[in-house]
Amino acid sequence: MRPPRSVRPASRVRLHPLGDTALLAELGTRLDTALNTRAIALATALKKRRDVRQAVAGYAGVTVHFDPDQTTHETLGAAIKRLAAKRPPMAEPGRLHRIPVVYAGPDLEEVAARLNLTRETIAELHSKPIYRVFLVGFVPGWAYLGPLPEELELPRRQVPRTQVPAGSVAIAGRQTGIYPLPTPGGWHLIGRTSVKLFLPDRDPPCLFRAGDRVKFFAANL
């Protein structure tokens, strides 16, 4: 999944039908924490409606599944525009997770060479921000975190790996993430962590939720 790249006014809402019983409410098209906050607030408000079956926040929009016996694209779209025009309530900061990382991933040397940075600088830059969990998906427990510092921006690997070990810390574009399970992947692996992100016997099973915050820190081998 790739984040949107171009910029549109934050106040504009674009509605896109997704079949007969769903639509996408697009609040913007850039990777931005303020837009993501608005998307989460809009999804929360929509979940309270009787005609909405499901509302899932993304980077800067909400996918809405509705009951066609209770509403239509047009009626729900008008309601969405009214809700989106309201100032979202002051949200409580998402939970802060501190994640230890051993910065010794198999792609670290290549990333350092391509960015003309030292391994130590990469670790310092990567662990400096407090990242936003924009959304959770791809595989159980995977969270798209960002924005990544511009100095670390790289496109995805040209040839994805067929399997990435669980706990691998990776970067691609302006995002970072942790592979929660062994899975194929095309991001650059710069480190690893021992933190378990997906525990199927726990409720909820995923450690991260949309809107949470993540702070990495360097750990010893």
> What digits encode the pLDDT tens for the residues 76-128?
999 999 998 887 666 667 899 999 999 999 999 999 999 999 999 999 999 99
User: How many structural domains does the chain have?
Assistant: 2
Distance between CA atoms of residues 45 and 210, nearest Å: 15
Domain end position, chosen among 50, 85, 120: 85
pTM for the whole structure: 0.79
Q: DSSP of 20-63, one letter per residue?
A: SSEEEEE--SS--HHHHHHHHHHHHHHTTSTTEEEEEE-SSEEE
Domain coverage including residue 191: 96-218
User: pLDDT tens for residues 142-191?
Assistant: 999 999 999 999 999 999 999 999 999 999 999 999 999 999 999 999 99
CB-CB contact of 62 with 39 (8 Å)? yes
The letter for the amino acid at 74 is: E
Query: CATH no. for residue 24?
Result: 3.30.1360.40
